[in-house]
Amino acid sequence: MASKAAAFHAWASGFGIPAYPAASVPKGARMPYLTYSFGSAAWGEEPFAAEADLWYPAESGEAVPNAKAEEIGAALGGCGSVLRCDGGAMRVLRGSPFWQALRDDDPAVQRRFINLDIEFYTND
């Protein structure tokens, strides 16, 4: 079974573009890619508020990153995605608002900010 972080990374990597922890984007990474924040909790604790960001070159236009954000939303549906991990499972849910376009300091970048909630069903 995978660790919580590895299970989440595998899920985030399942959308056809590379996924990286926000603090570990390799130098020279080429857009498009997804970055994410991830933390840990256990059964009975409040859901963890995570975020993901989609990074696309501006020449992609608005429709392409919007469609990828909607693809992630469709994968979550109304009940979220359950990810098995060491010690149990976790459920990734749509946060609110689910996604929004953000202006990046670099005009060559299209960015989409995605809110996620993660419920943990583990003992640690």
pLDDT tens for each residue of 58-83: 999 999 999 999 999 999 999 999 99
Supply 42's token pair.
Answer: 């256990």
For residue 93, what are its two tokens? 């849910």
Supply 18's token pair: 């590379």
Count Cβ atoms below 10 Å from residue 43 Cβ, excluding itself: 12
> Which one-letter DSSP state was computed for residue 87?
T
Task: Tell me what the mean pLDDT of segment 84-113 comes to.
Answer: 95
Q: Mean pLDDT throughout 10-29?
A: 97
Single pTM value for the model: 0.93
